[in-house]
Structure 1
Amino acid sequence: MLRDLVLANRTYRRFYEDIKIEREVLEDLIDLARLSSSGANLQPLKYILSYSEESNNFIFPNLKWAGYLKDWDGPSVGERPTAYIVMLLDKNISKNPMWDHGIACQSILLGAAEKGLGGCMFGSVDRAEVAKAFNIPENLEVLLVIALGKPKEEIVLEDIKDPKDVKYWRDENQVHHVPKRKLEDLLIN
């Protein structure tokens, strides 16, 4: 069911680094994005697939992990993602991605959840360094990066206690807690 996939689709930041993701799996995920809706049907998104240790090592240090976890610099060796998708905007097609990258990310991450994988979207990326590492031409703009792997952490959703405090946190057992607003707090009528 879709609800089960949505619940499985959490923002994972620790992975089993020994479980690799093959190119064919990444291509399947991009195919889901390709089939998703696109503003004005322009389809301006392009992708770089990274699934080798060498190319993953170019991407990893250029991501900023878990802003609310001030004492954590990201996953340690053995817990890092085994694949990345760099999402690009082809400015020769459109200068405005509209909402396409959000729809594409959701399709990719739901597809990953269906395969028993998990991921994390990064808007906080050193775009210039990623562009340089992959020789990305100027007409392609780095929009975001999706890290992927077999999740190695437990994530618990809980009702938000203070509407002004949306910060996720980890307990002493490294269980990742994510506060969510209640349905009745979202509905206006």
Structure 2
Amino acid sequence: MSVADTLKKRISTRAFLDKPLDAETVHALLDDARWSPSGGNLQPWKVIAVAGSEKSALERLAVEAIMKNPKGEVGDYPIYPEGLQDPYRARRYKIGEDMYALLGIPREDKGARLKWMSRNYQFFGAPVGLFFVIDKEMGNGQWAHVGMFMQSLALLAEERGLGTCMQEAWGMARDSLHKHFGLADNEVVYCGMALGYPDPDAAINQLRSERASVDEFTKFRGF
């Protein structure tokens, strides 16, 4: 599979098969992903991989954290900027409505939508969860490098017949995760990632986001 094909095939997988994933496979993915670009070779990423009882404990932790604080524990690292404007706001709204349409959940059924969103904290049924940690002293460039690392990991998973979902929603329980993992004061959990075997029959895995054309986001100069 070419890189271009892999990029186009990759989606945010939101339904996984009940099929375990061994530590050796996860280790091999990370071993390949570690060659991602890294300015100054800082390699600013740290990863915590969870499965089994540890994953279940984190699912319970998230529920408890969000019950205590429905607005989440985002702190200085909000998931989206406040006052998001178009075209970004429209794009976010559109993918959300497309998702709920596939699920058959109308806008007025707030309870069903909330229940679906809570599946973020069950890793959408994936057998493995990954958490990405960065040093608070790192700058914007290093956060971008962590993103590159995550992208590499997602594409490598796709190559092996696996699916991923990058989950910034775990930022809603960031303080609780920090305590649970016993992280240093200078460390912060950026986000999570679900990893496993996609369920090919799940309607939600048919969701494909629309993308702006090249001409919408590119200016060619000097050609």
TM-score range, shorter chain: 0.7 to 0.9
SS at match of 1:73: helix
SS at match of 1:4: helix
Name structure 1 gaps, 5 residues minimum: 156-172
> Could you tell me the TM-score, scaled by structure 1's length?
0.75
Q: Residue 112 of structure 1 aligns with which residue?
A: 157
1:178 counterpart (193, 201, 209): 209
Paired letter, 1:151: P
Cα distance, 1:14–1:75 mapped onto 2, change above 3 Å: farther
Native 8 Å contact 2:44 2:146 kept in 1? no
SS at match of 1:21: coil
Question: Deviations along 1:94-146, whole A, 9 cap, x unmatched?
Answer: 53334111100111000100111111112222111222222223232111111
Q: Which has the higher helix share?
A: 2
1:127 counterpart (168, 174, 185): 174
Q: Residue 102 of structure 1 aligns with which residue?
A: 147
Q: Which has the higher strand share?
A: 1
Structure 1 position 33, deviation (Å):
2.8
Structure 1 position 74, deviation (Å):
4.5
- Determine which structure has more spread, i.e. the larger CA radius of gyration: 2
Native 8 Å contact 1:117 1:150 kept in 2? yes
Q: Residue 6 of structure 1 aligns with which residue?
A: 7
Structure 1 position 4, deviation (Å):
1.5
Q: Residue 85 of structure 2 aligns with which residue?
A: none
Native 8 Å contact 2:11 2:208 kept in 1? no
1:1-189 matched pairs, under 5 angstroms:
1-16=2-17, 18-52=18-52, 54-60=53-59, 62=62, 68=96, 69=100, 71=113, 72-75=116-119, 80-91=125-136, 94-96=137-139, 97-125=142-170, 126-153=173-200, 174=204, 175-189=206-220
If asked which structure has higher relative contact order (CA below 8 Å, sep 6+), I would say 2
Native 8 Å contact 2:47 2:132 kept in 1? yes
Paired letter, 2:25: V
Cα distance, 1:107–1:142 mapped onto 2, change above 3 Å: same
Take 1:132 and 1:98, find their aligned partners in 2: how far apart are those partners? 21
Q: Residue 66 of structure 2 aligns with which residue?
A: none
Identity %: 25
Native 8 Å contact 2:162 2:195 kept in 1? yes
Take 1:95 and 1:145, find their aligned partners in 2: how far apart are those partners? 19
Cα distance, 1:22–1:108 mapped onto 2, change above 3 Å: same
> Could you tell me the TM-score, scaled by structure 2's length?
0.64
Take 2:135 and 2:33, find their aligned partners in 1: how far apart are those partners? 15
Take 2:145 and 2:27, find their aligned partners in 1: how far apart are those partners? 18
State the Cα RMSD in Å: 2.9
Q: Residue 170 of structure 1 aligns with which residue?
A: none
Corresponding pairs, count: 167
Q: Residue 164 of structure 1 aligns with which residue?
A: none
Paired letter, 1:59: L
Q: Residue 167 of structure 1 aligns with which residue?
A: none
